[in-house]
Amino acid sequence: MTSAKPISLVTGGGGDIGRAIALRLAHMSGGVAIVDLDEAAANATARAVEKSGVAVMAIRADVSCSEDCARYVTLVEEQLGPIGVFANNAGIEGVVAPLHEYPDNVFDQLYAVNVRGAFLGLKHVLGRMRARGTGSIINTASTSAIRGRAGLAGYVASKHAVLGLTRTAAVEVAGTGIRVNAVLPGPIESRMIRELDHQAHRTSTSAGRAGSAGYGQPQNIADVVAFLASAEASHVNGAAWVVDGGMTVP
Ligand code: NAD
């Protein structure tokens, strides 16, 4: 990346982790764009980011829709400037159910948002970054990208796929000035984990289990995303950066 402060884009920026990422990236960015399906949540993050004095915009978009992705990329580049950092973070958790009872429609929905959404974000942003030969992309996967978890067939499969997309993109851009990495959060204090905990408790599975390190905070993820976005990580490409307090140590 050049020495000028980059424009940062965060999808799922209205959620707990996305908001922490947007606030953290504001310190190192010339502008921050927040994309979310939930317009009110995106606006709330934008108002919080605004306090840091950086240019900000909030866009309502569905990351699983190709037209929406093309639109948000164009809007951000027209209004803020070239996207230098992309936190490809939007995601959903689905339901907790054993595989033999896992609902087909929930599985498809997880693939639409978590996999197709991550793919479309990569596709549209990478097109712009490749033309400029600079940029850093951080996909939010999960420790569910490297472990099986009872009751979470759709989520686990979708996050394994996000890691596959990350690795493919990283190999494709190696040596071009662009880097693509994944951050793999363990359970983080958030709406999503509270919902999974609630469902796991009801279905007596271990879906939301935190392990001995307990839950992390959204800020823990934001700090690693900021590092991966920064020039200090200039030789880090294709990494699966686990942030779980040691929960998945082999
Ligand atoms: P969250 O539910 O608080 O935030 C997710 C955000 O994504 C929400 O604001 C939601 O409106 C948005 N979103 C959902 N579908 C969308 C769509 N189709 N288009 C645009 N936006 C959409 O959850 P979070 O904990 O902040 O999760 C952020 C990311 O971190 C997700 O990818 C999640 O899978 C991942 N993750 C979370 C945890 C955790 O413990 N919370 C652990 C590992 C990975």
Mean pLDDT calculated for residue range 202-229: 83
Give 92 Cα–ligand 1 centroid separation in angstroms.
5
Mutation test residue for ligand 1: of 10, 35, 36, 217, the one with most atoms within 8 Å of CB: 36
The minimum-distance atom of ligand 1 relative to the CA of 64 is 18
Cβ partners under 8 Å of residue 33, min gap 6: 7, 8, 9, 10, 13, 56, 57, 58, 59, 72, 75, 76, 80, 83
What confidence score (pLDDT) does residue 128 get?
Answer: 98
What confidence score (pLDDT) does residue 122 get?
Answer: 98
For residue range 57-104, list pLDDT tens digits in order: 999 999 999 999 999 999 999 999 999 999 999 999 999 999 999 999
pTM for the predicted model, two decimal places: 0.97
Q: Quick check: 164 pLDDT over 70?
A: yes
Above pLDDT 90, what percent of the chain?
92
Give 12 Cα–ligand 1 centroid separation in angstroms.
6
What confidence score (pLDDT) does residue 2 get?
Answer: 43
What confidence score (pLDDT) does residue 200 get?
Answer: 87
What confidence score (pLDDT) does residue 4 get?
Answer: 85
Mutation test residue for ligand 1: of 11, 16, 17, 116, the one with most atoms within 8 Å of CB: 17
Of the ranges 42-51, 127-136, 198-207, 211-220, which one carries the lowest mean pLDDT score?
Answer: 198-207
Q: Give which of 126, 143, 168 is closest to 241, Cα–Cα.
A: 143
What confidence score (pLDDT) does residue 207 get?
Answer: 59
Give 90 Cα–ligand 1 centroid separation in angstroms.
5
Q: What is the mean pLDDT of the chain?
A: 95
Of the ranges 84-93, 152-161, 171-180, 199-208, which one carries the lowest mean pLDDT score?
Answer: 199-208
Q: Nearest C-alpha to atom 9 of ligand 1 is from which residue? A: 15
191 close to ligand 1 (CB < 6 Angstrom)? yes
Q: Quick check: 50 pLDDT over 50?
A: yes
What confidence score (pLDDT) does residue 201 get?
Answer: 79
166 close to ligand 1 (CB < 6 Angstrom)? no
Give 175 Cα–ligand 1 centroid separation in angstroms.
31
Mutation test residue for ligand 1: of 19, 64, 71, 92, the one with most atoms within 8 Å of CB: 92
38 close to ligand 1 (CB < 6 Angstrom)? yes
Give 15 Cα–ligand 1 centroid separation in angstroms.
6
| Residue 204 pLDDT grade (very low, low, confident, very high; cuts 50, 70, 90) | low
Q: Nearest C-alpha to atom 18 of ligand 1 is from which residue? A: 62
Backbone angles phi, psi at 230, to 5 degrees: -85, 165
| Residue 1 pLDDT grade (very low, low, confident, very high; cuts 50, 70, 90) | very low
For residue range 9-33, list pLDDT tens digits in order: 999 999 999 999 999 999 999 999 9
Q: Quick check: 209 pLDDT over 60?
A: no
Above pLDDT 70, what percent of the chain?
95
Of the ranges 59-68, 197-206, 220-229, which one carries the lowest mean pLDDT score?
Answer: 197-206
Burial class (CB within 10 angstroms; exposed 0-12, middle 13-18, buried 19+) of 109: middle
111 is catalytic: no
